[in-house]
Amino acid sequence: MKGNLLIVHGGGPTAVLNCSLYGAVKEALASGEVGRVYGAKGGSGGLLREQLLDFSAVPPQELELLRTTPATALGTSRDALGPEDYRAMAQILQRHGIRWVLMNGGNGTMDACGKLEAACRGTGIGVMGIPKTMDNDIAVTDHCPGFGSVARYMAGTIRELGADVRSLPIHVVVVESLGRNAGWTTAAAALAREQDGDAPHLLYPPERPFCEEEFLEETMAMYRRLGGVVVVASEGLRDAAGKPIVEPIFETGRSTYFGDVSSHLAQLIVRRLGVKARSEKPGILARASIAWQSPVDAAEAEEAGRAACRAALAGESGKMVAFRRLPGEDYRCETFLAPIEEVMLGERTLPEEYLRGSDVTQAFCDWCRPLIGPDLPRMARL
């Protein structure tokens, strides 16, 4: 009797999470080794409630739409799980004849993946991780599915915003980027530049302690030079003492609901510098944009799902699919399997060699550019 396979999504969605789902489902259905392919509706909480979707009931045309649908068609969650929950999950998996579990998510989900794998040892159930996060902060892997698309969004929209500010250079615009502790999304805005003086003019990732006086000095200097300034600042900015520059609205477990950093900085500019300023906060729009989806990101996300499925069916367990960049002038990556213990709640921040004052280095831009796919649309200059 063939065993069944289950896919579980966890954490915040991305523009390519459904691409990984598509890849895993298609690989499992084509394998000839899997009886039924299930999806947990609503993440780990859905699994605990035994709310399972049978993909054999999904019309083929709906399955094909997954590759161009943002977020997750299965639903996701941020459930706080205890030891008793993992034991309950193991029992549910056995009850439904599930032999393979693919957990697709970020740091917290990889932690859950490792704990579920431990709870399933001795049962014959294999558990594999598929990386997903727009923050790009998962350890071990060169980069993570979800990041390339949000990087393309940030670069593309900052280029558009820069053209607007350049055409009426009378104010400072502060754009708040997602990224609690890691500045990869903030840094990606640098790819917007076509020539010297282009936006973004100042970048403030969370890896560097934020100094209010330096920020005001740098902003004013740039304003005097250009007239119109675009600043990109992380939602997770902290001062030298590690305190958020805007008090969080609410904190629970690993989740933090940040205050409005962009609004705070824009008001600071108006009050202290007497310069017009406004704030923009793309927020989850940045991770939900199919219009800015990177085809490189989408293809790699799908391959991550397929690779995890192949590994699980081959008997692997307790590992996560990761990406390794290959040497050479042209961008190429391959997947490999990383022990889940090396990934669980490990956080990968921007390394020092990618940071330069209130900006990033050319080395970062060279590393990041292949991930966003085709060249961004050029802007006319008269």
CA distance 221 to 183: 24
Of 75, 142, 132, which is closest to residue 109 (Cα–Cα)? 132
Instruction: Compute the residue count for the chain.
Output: 382
| 266-291 CB burial, b ≥16 within 10 A, e <16 | bebbeeeeebebebbbbeeebbbbee
135 given a catalytic annotation: yes
Angle at 347 between CA 341 and CA 350, to 5 degrees: 140
CA distance 236 to 64: 37
Among the options 54, 79, 111, 135, which is catalytic?
135
Annotate 338-360 with DSSP letters as a single string.
Answer: EEGGGTTT-B-PPPGGGEETTEE
Q: Which strand (E) or helix (H) includes residue 175?
A: strand 172-177
Of 50, 64, 55, which is closest to residue 19 (Cα–Cα)? 64
Instruction: Please check whether residue 245 is in contact with residue 210, taking contact to mean a CB–CB distance below 8 angstroms.
Output: yes
Residues 6+ apart with CB under 8 A from 133: 11, 12, 14, 105, 106, 107, 144, 146, 147
**Segments in the chain forming alpha helices (H):** 17-31, 43-48, 60-65, 83-95, 107-120, 147-167, 184-188, 212-226, 261-273, 295-313, 362-368
Instruction: Please check whether residue 284 is in contact with residue 129, taking contact to mean a CB–CB distance below 8 angstroms.
Output: no
Count of C-beta atoms within a 10 Å radius of residue 50: 12
Indicate which residues carry an active-site annotation: 135
